[in-house]
Amino acid sequence: MGAKAVPDQPAAPANKGAEIYAQCVGCHGPTGGGGVGPRLAGQPAEKLIENLQAYKAGKTVGPQTAMMAPIAQAMSDEDIEAVAHYIAENFK
C-alpha cells in the first residue's frame, strides 16, 4: 500500500506568530525590546490584543497610531492573537 498524503496543516499559532513578528522586528527589535517602536517585551497578550484591536478599529492608542493603524487593519483577528501570544510567551 502507498503512503497516504498528509493534508497541509495550518501553521501552529506560535509559528504563525513568529512569522508575523518577523515583520515587526524593524521597529520593535528582535526580542521586543523596542527601538523606533515601543517595548513589547513583558506585556501580557491581552494588552497587546487590546491595543492591536484598537488600532484596527481606528482608535488613537498613542503617538504611534498613524504608523500602526494600517498594519493592524491588514491583520485578521487570528493574526492579532497569534502575534500577541508569540510576543507574550517569548519576550518576557
Residues 18-75: tens digit of each pLDDT = 999 999 999 999 999 999 999 999 999 999 999 999 999 999 999 999 999 999 999 9
Q: What share of the chain is helix, strand, coil (3-state, %, to 5)?
A: 50, 0, 50
What superfamily in CATH does domain 13-90 come from?
Answer: Cytochrome c-like domain (1.10.760.10)
CA distances from 61 to 4, 15, 31, 39, 41 (A): 50, 27, 22, 15, 18
* End-to-end Cα, the chain, rounded Å: 49
In the Cβ-directed half-sphere of 70, how many Cα atoms lie within 13 Å? 2
C-alpha cell at 78: 487570528
The domains of the chain are located at: 13-90
Q: Please give the pLDDT value at position 66.
A: 96
